[in-house]
Amino acid sequence: MLPVSEAETQILNLTQPLDADRDVEWLPLSAAAGRILARPISSSLDFPHWDNSSMDGYAVRRADVATSSPDTPIALTVIEEIPAGYRPQQTLQPGQAARILTGAMMPPGADAVVMQEETRREGDRVYILAAPAPHQFVRRRGEFYRAGDRLLPAGIRLGAAEIAVLAAAQCVNIPVYRRLRVAILSTGDELVSPEQPLQPGQIVDSNQYALAALVAEAGAEPLMLGIVPDQPEALQTAIAQAVSSADVVLSSGGVSVGDYDYVDRLLESLGATIHIRAIAIKPGKPLTFATFNAAPAAQAQSPTAYFGLPGNPVSALVTFWRFVLPALRKQSGLSAGWGPAWLWGRSPHDLKADGKRETYLWGTLRMTEDGYEFSQSPGSFSSGNLINLAQTNALAQVPLGQTQIVAGTPIRVMQMDARAIALP
Ligand code: AMP
Ligand code: MG
């Protein structure tokens, strides 16, 4: 069986990012938050756009006030007042100052600002009580960046700070990667949708909804294709349709070695290349990863990736976090940071595993005075028990070959995406 880290590497190596030419859409700035930038952005402006004051005070010529001090103040004539947003009307001559407010443009001739607290105003004269340093309280034109400078690289997710940078640089149409389309189907004769009455022997298809939520959280577009019975013809049709309509297909169920587990066989007969059939992970051992090469007519398109996830609800989610999410991040155009967010934590109790597979235990991570503490979820630890997976925020990793991690030993813990860690 394939070790987890090798499976992760293989999957990522076989995953190609969207194309920076073909798979780009232009969005207005107001719609670009959370999306991934497809092209680097350069500035067409200097920033700050002109020299401006970072204080309320007086714009001066340093040479005039080089010997100012509280005991030997130097008086200047105030020739104008410059609020933020206005162009100064005059050039400072020797012996002159301009009243200036924060963010206002420096008048020609001035080379420093003396803050209001170090001045004394009397009518149209101002006494300067301290000698300013060169360019004191002046934000100089182009100090933060210049026209032509690279502001943002391609392949980053646009958060609030990046959106602010784009707005300040007057970039109003933003090239971002289109959202990935991820088809989701559930396989199993026993499955019914949540709104159908339950008959004996049936269970509700929760995976469809959980996976759609995860896909949307990852910034991709989920296509919920519904429930497919354990019948080869129906399944083959459904898989073929999913592959032709999406960039990535996620199915759950039907990938074990049971009599009704058809997924792998059908993938082969549809011409997929199966790269992975099982991974040494618990929960989640039966996991199929395959790729479909694009039809000759659509050579410009990337191959479609197929993840056949296990049917057990907890296994489906854990394998999504561990394997699918990094692949979605890479494929959606992010240039780095695909893998899970790992932290070192300690558990107050011994953690147990069977040693035969890399084991993921779900629980809550919180910050304490001396690092992160991981508490395993209470209750039965079964890959079918969704209820103790709910309201957790992390998965502790017990490496292959280890059957116990003694309380207090540092362990690697994987944060589930977008779930905050409680502070002390
Ligand atoms: P399978 O991988 O098809 O053998 O399914 C393993 C277990 O997961 C069985 O108990 C199934 O009933 C359950 N299961 C399969 N698919 C789903 C689903 N979509 N939602 C909830 N449970 C499922
Ligand atoms: Mg099944």
Using the CB atoms, write b or e for 79-98: b if 16+ within 10 Å.
bbebeeeeebeeebeeebbb
- Ligand having the closest approach to the CA of 257: 1
Instruction: Tell me what the pLDDT averaged over the chain comes to.
Output: 95
The model's pLDDT over 308-353, given as tens digits with 9 standing for 90+, comes to 999 999 999 999 999 999 999 999 999 999 999 999 999 999 999 9
Does residue 256 have a pLDDT over 90? no
Taking the CA of 189 as reference, the closest ligand is: 2
Closest Cα to residue 8, out of 355, 402, 397?
Answer: 397
- What distance in angstroms lies between residue 212's CA and the mean position of ligand 2's atoms? 19
DSSP E strand boundaries for 189-329: 191-192, 203-204, 221-228, 248-252, 273-278, 281-282, 286-292, 304-309
Q: Is 258 in the pocket of ligand 1 (CB under 6 A)?
A: yes
Its sign, for the CA torsion 249, 250, 251, 255, is positive
Helix residue spans in 101-174 (DSSP H): 160-168
Q: Would you say residue 381 has pLDDT above 90?
A: no
Query: What's the confidence (pLDDT) of residue 302?
Result: 77
Please report, for residues 48, 340, 385, the alpha-carbon distance to residue 227 in angstroms, rounded to integers and kept in the order given: 57, 29, 21
For position 374, what pLDDT does the model report?
97
CA angle 203, 327, 312 (to 5 degrees): 20
> Residue 46: pLDDT above 80?
yes
pLDDT at 423 over 80: no
The SS3 assignment for 105 reads: strand
Q: So what's the pLDDT on residue 424? A: 66
The answer to whether the CB of 398 falls within 8 A of the CB of 345 is no
Percent above pLDDT 90 for the chain = 90
Q: Which atom of ligand 1 is nearest to the CA of 187?
A: 16
Backbone phi, psi, residue 314, to 5°? -70, -40
List, for residues 396-408, the tens digit of each pLDDT value.
Answer: 999 999 999 999 9
Residue whose Cα lies nearest atom 10 of ligand 1: it is 312
Tokens at 97, concatenated: 């100052």
Q: Which H or E element spans position 5?
A: helix 4-13
| pLDDT at residue 384 tops 90 | no
Percent of the chain with pLDDT over 70: 97
Q: How confident is the model over 200-255, as pLDDT tens digits?
A: 999 999 999 999 999 999 999 999 999 999 999 999 999 999 999 999 999 999 98
What are residue 169's phi and psi, to 5 degrees? -90, 10
| Ligand nearest the Cα atom of residue 383 | 1
Per DSSP, the three-state class of 303 is coil
3-state helix, strand, coil in the chain (%, to 5): 20, 35, 45
Answer yes or no: are the C-beta atoms of 182 and 328 closer than 8 Å: yes
Q: How confident is the model over 18-38, as pLDDT tens digits?
A: 999 999 999 999 999 999 999
Task: Answer yes or no: is the C-beta of 207 below 6 A from any ligand 1 atom.
Answer: yes
Tokens of 78: 């105030």
C-alpha to C-alpha distance for 318 and 24, rounded to whole angstroms? 31
> Mean pLDDT over residues 342-371, rounded?
95
Alpha carbon of residue 388 to chain centroid = 26
Q: Which region holds residue 51: left if phi is over 0, alpha if psi is between -120 and 50, else beta?
A: beta
Q: Are the C-beta atoms of residues 82 and 167 closer than 8 Å to each other?
A: no
Instruction: Read off the tokens for 393.
Output: 């925020």
The tokens for 309 are: 């996830």
Q: Is the pLDDT of residue 299 over 60?
A: no
Ligand whose nearest atom lies closest to the CA of 212? 1
Question: Dihedral through CA 24, CA 27, CA 30, CA 34, nearest 10?
Answer: -20
Q: Is 315 in the pocket of ligand 1 (CB under 6 A)?
A: no
pLDDT digits (tens, 9 = 90+) for 85-126: 999 999 999 999 999 999 999 999 999 999 999 999 999 999
Q: Residue 416: what pLDDT?
A: 86
Distance 315 CA to ligand 2 centre (A): 13
Residue 253 CB–ligand 1 contact under 6 Å: yes
Mean pLDDT over 368-376 rounds to 95
Q: Tell which residue, 397, 305, 386, has the closest CA to residue 344.
A: 397
Cβ-based burial of 354 (10 A; exposed 0-12, middle 13-18, buried ≥19)? exposed
Alpha-carbon distance 48 to 52, whole Å?
8
What is the best residue among 207, 261, 312 to mutate for testing ligand 1's pocket, by most ligand atoms within 8 Å of CB? 312
Local confidence band at 385 (pLDDT 50, 70, 90 cut-offs) = confident
pLDDT of 297 > 70? The answer is: no
pLDDT number for residue 383: 78
Gap from CA of 190 to ligand 2 centroid (Å) = 8
- Residues 111, 115: Cα–Cα separation, whole Å: 13
> Largest Cα–Cα distance of the chain, in whole Å?
97
Per DSSP, helices labelled H in 130-206 are 160-168
The candidate with the shortest Cα–Cα distance to 289, out of 272, 314, 302, is 272
Q: How far apart are CA 325 and CA 220, in angstroms?
A: 10
Contact 132, 150 (CB under 8 A): no
